[in-house]
Amino acid sequence: MKIEQKTMFIASSNADKIREFKEILFAHGYTVKSLLDYPEYLQPEENGSTFEENAVIKAQHFSRSFNCECIADDSGLEIEALNNEPGIYSARYLGRNTPYEEKNQIILNRMKNHNNRRCCYVCAIALCNPEKEAKVFTGICDGLIAENAAGSNGFGYDPIFYYPPLRKTMAQMSEEEKNKISHRALAIQKMKESF
């Protein structure tokens, strides 16, 4: 199946993630298609040991399936005091179907006795063309695990990810603020600079 030029295929069915990509990529003149537009296509198994490896696995799979350029990302939260958990297992951490409100509270409970609250969001984006080797762009946003969850914007671990320069959690930020500093925005900017 061919996709018209200036369309970026996002190898994801995560509506929140796709929305973030759209908001950033639309500003650069891209139309975005995703697995939500093609629900019959299944994700390949993410059996890499790093964010970068998992992103490449997905991007290569769908680039070949659609015979077009494709981007795929793998992202997650790393908490220094918890041996960088949840890491590449962020989406599956404590069970894929466990609500993030519950996951966040469990993390807050585990962090109660830790003075080191350093953490980072990591996003690796693989850009894949069927005829070329995949390029990978990684964005990292450093922060702290908040004392309490706060904010209703964003998704996932955003309510407990405190960003000191703005003195608020990711979930307290506006979309405009988040799209300037987020791990995904930084990785996308690196990708755009490579074009």
- List the catalytic residues: 74
- What is the DSSP secondary structure assignment for residue 191, as one 8-state letter? H
Distances (CA, A) of 111 to 26, 144, 145, 168: 38, 11, 8, 18
* Strand pairing class (161-163; 135-145): antiparallel
Give the alpha-carbon dihedral of 164, 168, 169, 172, to 10 degrees. -160
Contact between 183 and 140 under an 8 Å Cβ cutoff? The reply is yes
Q: Is 174 helix (H, G, I), strand (E, B) or coil?
A: coil
Q: How far apart are CA 134 and CA 131, in angstroms?
A: 9
Q: How far apart are CA 64 and CA 67, in angstroms?
A: 5
